Chain A
Amino acid sequence: MFYREAGQYKTSYKADSAIFPILQDRIAIWFYLAVAFIAVPLFGSEFFINSMMIPFLIFSLAAIGLNILTGYTGQISLGSGAFMGVGAYSTYKLVTIFPDMNVILAILLSGFFAAFIGMIFGLPSLRIKGFYLVVTTLAAQFFLEWAFIRIPWLYNYNDSGAIEVPNRRVFDIVVSGSEASATTRYLVVLSIVVGLTWVASNLIHGRIGRSWMMIRDMDIAAELIGVRPLVAKLSVFAVSSFYCGVAGAMMVFLWLGAAEVESFDVNQSFLILFMVILGGLGSLIGSFMGAGFIWMLPIVIRAIPKILGLDINASTVEHINFMIVGALILVFLIVEPHGLARIWAIAKQKLRVWPFPY
């Protein structure tokens, strides 16, 4: 009823080409941003912020990275976990080599290292597609995991082989490390994620995003129109890896506080791929939905017995959790193979014409 666009006439192409052409959508976006920036830090508990919101945002960013590559450009990758690792390890190297460096800057810079590595492992995509490309990205995953273990320089020759986050201040506020408060870290993560999502949305709606989608939908026709496959594919691998790298760096520096190579193994890649597929390929909002679904749902389910006062032991809860989440993923994908984002889009369309069917 409230979601109507009647009376919103667009009188310029600028208004019609806007990313959110409908007024209600624009209001909704500002509302979500207000909730995220003001309400959550004010009213959210330490547990809610640290164990739910921060990882949700970080995984959303990684999912956006993979979605740009897989959803928008059609290049399937199983290396996103490793590219997150590249981000994390290069941030670690940056802050230990340059102790005075702004840690937020280091996190963003590390994205460029990930982008570079991603471009190298994107080279095979110029010749191979589909499942064969999956295998080469899997090779990237295993090679990088090997590098994180076998090149001790990357973790400063620690005996543990892990990277640990030092306490670092930005403008006199502790941002990273054990002394940093959850709210501070949350606000930093949120700002980075919002900023990069905005950039991703801009890229996707412009010339470069179109060239990616052209490659996805019909690469021969794309080349004929003037897209250079080399430029388009390498640029998308770079951008995608940048996002994954920043997400990985934030995961270690602003959430976990320490990490080993296991944090970036192939399971991580699968997790992010599930988020992208469940959320919806080729949709930014879907990346958030997928990450939210896969990360938040188990936590909510875990909390239910406690709320209901049931006395079930923890391992049983965990098993039931796996079953419920797995079943729900199946149900959602059978109902709508295009993911949660498509369900969302259909719901919005229905609302627009309500109470009429079409």
Chain B
Amino acid sequence: MSFDVGYTTADGRTIGGVLMEMKNITLRFGGVTAIKNISLDIREGEIRAIIGPNGAGKTSMLNVINGFYHPQEGEIIFRGEHRKRMRPYQAAKQGISRTFQNVALFSGMTTLDNIMAGRQLKMHKNFLWQMLRYGPALNEEIEHRRKVEEIIDFLEIQAIRKTPVGSLPYGLQKRVELARALAAEPSLLLLDEPMAGMNVEEKEDMSRFILDVNDEFGTTIALIEHDMGVVMDLADRVVVLDYGKKIADGTPNEVQKNQDVIDAYLGVA
């Protein structure tokens, strides 16, 4: 844990020290530089937004955070410790979970199984017990089912519990994906465009869930979103990327007034 002093948000929540700090990250794919020398920090308990025009490097940034991409330069400090090059499942073990821009649910499985899948790392009973599905293995399964049901209640998806997710409408799929990410009880939750392709009502629901998650479980959230209204309402701090570079970082109000940001979004005359 970092002993950095936190800050107080506009709505009076106290934000803790730095949970993850990324220093001078540079990520290249051959000759293309997706991220150029970006530093940013994510503090405990805050809702951090990453915005920017298409191709700015936002999703690459999330992929660096959960270990899909390995930056050529820079270092990542998570919970005060320097993080080595790692695979995504190791990041998952450290408590980082995420949702995807294009829903990445397990389409052949039911909603319940998808969320149970999210608890994969919490279940430990070995192969022999699993073979018997008796005693400890069964108890473990039931105990995790109870946890999963709490999340199902929380996100109000009881009715689709046993529906295969492939047949659900898009808005609900996004919600199931959030449920799956929550099932891992993450300390850092990454949301890649949670509102993409939703109507106003669904966006409102999703915003409420994101705020509730942050509020009830104290989960730190980093999100990418294109809907500026949503971002400015939800986020405590916003970082703006453009062409792989960081052009602004601050509270929503500060960012909105930043001339570089206005230029990036509207173009320069």
Residues of A bordering B, CB below 8 Å? 12-14, 16-17, 19, 199, 202-203, 205-208, 210-211, 213-214, 216-218, 220-228, 235, 282
Contacts and interface: CB of A to CB of B under 8 A. Distances in A.
A334 to B, nearest CB: 21
Contact of B104 (A208, A216, A218): A218
Interface in B116-159: 116-118, 120-121, 123, 125, 127, 130-133, 137-138, 140-142, 145-146, 149
B116 A210 contact: yes
Interface in B53-91: 66, 68, 87-89, 91
Contacts of A217: 105-109
A218 B106 contact: yes
The residue in B91, B109, B125 that gathers the most chain A C-beta atoms within 10 A of its C-beta is B109
B145 A221 contact: no
Contact of B130 (A203, A218, A224, A226): A203
Nearest to B131: A199
- Chain A CB within 10 Å, residue with most, of B116, B120, B127: B120
Please list the 7 inter-chain residue pairs (A to B) with the smallest Cβ-Cβ separation, ordered nearest first: A202-B133, A217-B106, A226-B121, A226-B92, A221-B104, A13-B145, A206-B130
A168 to B, nearest CB: 27
Q: How large is the interface on B (under 10, 10 to 19, 20 to 34, 35 or more residues)?
A: 35 or more
Given A208-B127, A217-B109, A225 B138 contact: no
B133 A205 contact: yes
A224 B97 CA distance: 7
B175 interface: no
Contacts of A203: 130-131
B132 A202 contact: yes
What secondary structure prevails in chain B residues at the interface with A?
A: helix
Given A208-B130, A213-B113, A226-B184, 11 more contacts: A13-B142, A13-B149, A205-B133, A207-B125, A207-B130, A210-B117, A213-B106, A217-B107, A217-B109, A224-B92, A225-B118
B98 interface: yes
Interface of B: 66, 68, 87-89, 91-93, 97-98, 100, 104-109, 113, 116-118, 120-121, 123, 125, 127, 130-133, 137-138, 140-142, 145-146, 149, 180, 184
Contact of B108 (A17, A213, A220, A228): A213
B251 to A, nearest CB: 30
Given A14-B138, A17-B145, A205-B133, A210 B109 contact: yes
Contacts of A205: 133
B93 A226 contact: yes
Contacts of A207: 120, 123, 125, 130, 140-141
B8 to A, nearest CB: 33
Contacts of B132: 199, 202
Contacts of A220: 68, 88, 104
A224 B89 contact: yes
A225 B142 contact: no
A225 B104 contact: no
A214 B127 contact: no
B108 A282 contact: yes
In this complex, the member of B106, B107, B123 whose beta carbon has the largest number of chain A beta carbons within 10 angstroms is B106
Contacts of B145: 13, 16-17
A217 B107 CA distance: 6
Nearest to A228: B89
> Looking at B113, B133, B145, which has the most chain A CB atoms within 10 Å of its CB?
B133
5 contacts: A220-B68, A224-B66, A224-B88, A225-B89, A226-B120
A206 B117 CA distance: 10
A70 to B, nearest CB: 13
Given A205-B133, A207-B125, A218 B120 contact: no
Nearest to A16: B145
Given A223-B89, A226-B93, A17 B141 contact: yes
Nearest to A14: B142
Contacts of B118: 225
A225 B108 contact: no
A206 B126 CA distance: 11
A221 B106 contact: yes
A223 B87 contact: yes
A97 B117 CA distance: 45
A207 B149 CA distance: 17
Nearest to B127: A208
B40 to A, nearest CB: 21
Given A199-B131, A202-B131, A211 B88 contact: no
A20 B88 CA distance: 35
Contacts of A210: 109, 113, 116-117, 120
A202 B138 CA distance: 10
B66 to A, nearest CB: 6
A190 B123 CA distance: 33
Given A203-B131, A217-B108, A218-B106, A227 B120 contact: yes
A206 B120 contact: no
Contact of A224 (B98, B127, B149): B98
A207 to B, nearest CB: 5
B105 A225 contact: no
Nearest to A72: B108
Nearest to B183: A225
Contacts of B140: 207
Nearest to B137: A206
Contacts of B142: 12-14, 17
Contacts of A211: 117, 120
A227 B106 contact: no
A214 B106 contact: yes
